[in-house]
Amino acid sequence: MDVVHSALHAGHDGGVELHRGQLVPCYECPARVDFIEQALRAAGRHTWLPPRDFPLERLLDIHDADFIEFLRTAYPRWRAEGRDGSMLPSGFPARGLRRDRVPSGIHGAMGYYAFDAGTPIVPGTWEAALASAHCAMTAAALVTEGARAAYALCRPPGHHAARGTYGGYCFLNNAALAAQGLRDAGKARVALLDVDYHHGNGTQEIFWERDDVLFISIHGTPDTEYPYFLGYADERGAGRGEGYTLNLPLQRGTDWARYSAALATAREAIQAFGADALVVSLGVDTYQGDPISAFKLSKEHFPLLGGQLAGLGLPKVLVQEGGYAVEDIGHNVAAVLGAFDSAVLR
């Protein structure tokens, strides 16, 4: 399988985040990619490719122009005020506050575009996020050019980023950009399956009113799990997109038996949709050792996950999302891709 990867990811090293009320070192760190790369190179089955360049305008198919401009200029504006270190917001336009005005100052603008205080911006964030998006878009291009599957080793991840907001460690929605790339290349119906522990709220918002992209997410229930305010089963899309969003929330402590049942439901929906291609938001934070998640999948379940995904028989783009048990992330990703490679070769 082709693996698309950029060393620019390392420029985004956030430092600290606010996690469940405590200021802690960022769980989303450069070492995540290092361990994945080591495991995949040790497997020896993959072709490594750099991302291609794409016009900035391609991002506007998915994201608002003012949001892109904010991300592109945020850290220089922060430095212009004589500040350094990590940018974290200190106020948000919650209920009862105005949401129709973007403050001209960097602090208010940061709170306007962010939805949490766990996603720091540092000097290399924009370059890393853009390279990550290009990795996903390149993987999609490879599939449209004939590859049966391609893997984008994206960092930072993307599925929490919406049209005009960032959070959950995500700035640009890599999986949505990949899906749009497949659509632009002539794939009439694209399924996007998110298997990260956390709901892909940004992806859901982006495709909420579209019927050409089926969005399915298997995740921890928002009753107790981040991002809390989206991901319930009654969210089904709107307008032309009504019925093209499928949320499968699961309780803390979910094991493989319950998870695989939800996965079977997702597979049935993808087949009924008649998808021409599949994008997978591949989070491996469903692992029982993950420090910020609460499912109970173990190492032997990730080859099973890969086999189930590969068995759908569609051209596929796999886009890396979460996974924060850093020393085990490489093994778990390699297990998914290894099963994929075996199935594709059969």
Of 5, 9, 63, 160, catalytic: 160
Q: At what angle do helices 125-144 and 65-80 cross, to 10 degrees?
A: 150
Q: Say which amino acid occupies 84.
A: D
Contact between 37 and 135 under an 8 Å Cβ cutoff? The reply is: no
Alpha-carbon distance of 136 to 66, in angstroms, equals 22
Contact between 330 and 320 under an 8 Å Cβ cutoff? The reply is: no
Alpha-carbon distance of 325 to 197, in angstroms, equals 13
Alpha-carbon distance of 95 to 252, in angstroms, equals 29
Catalytic residue list contains 107: no
Other Cβ atoms within 10 Å of 291 Cβ, number = 11
Residue from 340, 345, 291, 22 nearest 150 by CA: 340
What are the helix (H) ranges across 7-104? 31-43, 65-80
Q: Which tokens go with 114? A: 């962010």
216 Cβ partners below 8 Å, 6+ apart?
A: 191, 192, 193, 194, 245, 246, 247, 248, 266, 269, 270
Question: Which DSSP symbol is given to 170?
Answer: B
Q: At what angle do helices 326-345 and 301-310 cross, to 10 degrees?
A: 40
Q: Which tokens go with 107? A: 């602090």
Q: Which residues are catalytic?
A: 160
